Amino acid sequence: MFLMPEITSKAMIGIIGSGQMGQGIAEVFLHNGHPIFIHDTDSNQLNTAIDSLHKRLHRAYEKGTLDANQKIHFLNNITPCHNLVQFASCDLIIEAIIEDFDTKTSLFERLGKHQKNTCILATNTSSFSITSLAKHVKSPERFLGIHFFNPAHHMPLVEIIPHQTTHPDVTRNITQFITTVGKTPVTCQDSPGFIVNRLLLPLINQATILLESGTATADAIDTAMTLGANFPMGPLALADLIGLDTCLSILATLHESSNDSSLKPSSLLKQYVANGKLGRKSGEGFFRYSL
Ligand code: NAD
């Protein structure tokens, strides 16, 4: 029998992966009063993430968007987890680890031993098939894509991607729940890149090809698209924000699934990733950043 999930305003939220997305997603739920459990296999990264969440809550307090009681309450709502056992009480777990299929499926297989029966599991994958990932989870009917955008605390859109056997009550419940944390959900069928990345990543790839060919500098390409196409930021700066490793992985998945040669990741993008230039998170990509 299908047990109706209980995702309410008191839901305990598990977040696995404490990189850029994990931190932003944590902030969304903290600001809506949810207790969050957050894990990363890299304990230094987990410590950095906790520190950064504390600083962000403190900044919100200084700006007057949180009062002193809320700040203390939200800080107490953060539980750093060094072990997946600690996720046993979570009502909703969102996976936000690196965009690597085998790493994600191996995590799901280990996590299955610790999820409670009513827990809904979601992936924040940018490009992998939800149907393929579902083969590795404990309860496929309680599994779906919940795709936040970067920076997650700021961007209003969330793509909701059920697969064929996601229970309709789960999709309905999650779609409704996402609105309670101030986001706008759009539902999309399970298809490569969903909506935004299917449209955005080909543009980013073409921008890197233009740069590689020497047609224009990175500055010129981004200026052209901000002033000429009215984009809020240029495609190369956006690629740096997403992370060049993540862009490469999404493009590789899109290319593999479509066989469309225009989606083949450019050699310049591959070169940047091979050299550790990952964009904002590493301090350098197409542009330089202070960390
Ligand atoms: P990131 O590189 O900033 O963070 C990934 C984190 O996952 C790292 O801290 C790493 O230590 C951790 N990790 C790796 N393997 C792990 C494991 N087995 N268990 C626990 N933690 C593990 O990446 P990100 O930009 O935060 O992206 C995370 C996910 O969100 C990816 O699937 C990505 O495609 C997706 N996403 C990214 C963006 C974006 O703009 N960056 C937007 C939407 C979705």
Instruction: Walk along the chain (291 residues) in steps of 10 and give the mean pLDDT of each run.
Output: 75 97 98 97 98 96 95 97 97 97 98 95 96 97 97 97 96 96 97 95 97 98 98 98 97 92 95 98 97 83
Model pLDDT, residue 259: 82
Domain-wise residue ranges, the chain = 13-187, 196-282
Cβ neighbours of residue 99 under 8 Å, at least 6 residues apart? 125, 126, 127, 128, 245, 246, 249, 250
Q: Which of 159, 163, 266, 284 is catalytic?
A: 159
User: Do the domains 196-282 and 13-187 match in fold?
Assistant: no
How much distance in Å is there from the Cα of 54 to the middle of ligand 1?
Answer: 20
How far, in Å, is the centroid of ligand 1 from the Cα of 228? 32
Which of 210, 206, 194, 186 is closest to 254 using CA atoms?
A: 194
- Is 96 close to ligand 1, i.e. is its CB under 6 Å away? yes
Which tokens is 218 given? Answer: 């990175």
CATH number of this structure's domain 196-282: 1.10.1040.10
37: β partners: 14, 79
126 is catalytic: yes
Question: What integer pLDDT is reported at residue 7 of this predicted model?
Answer: 86
**Residues linked to residue 273 through DSSP beta bridges, in sequence order:** none
Q: Is the peptide bond before 151 cis (omega within 30 degrees of 0)?
A: yes
Whole-number pLDDT of residue 5:
63
For residue 125, give the ligand 1 atom closest to its CA. 32
Query: Is 266 marked active-site?
Result: no
Please give the pLDDT value at position 9.
86
What local confidence, expressed as pLDDT, does residue 58 receive? 96
What pLDDT is recorded for position 4?
A: 67
- Tokens read off for 43: 């304990």
Nearest CA to ligand 1 atom 43: 149
Domain 13-187 -> CATH class? alpha beta
| Catalytic entry in 18, 77, 124, 126 | 126
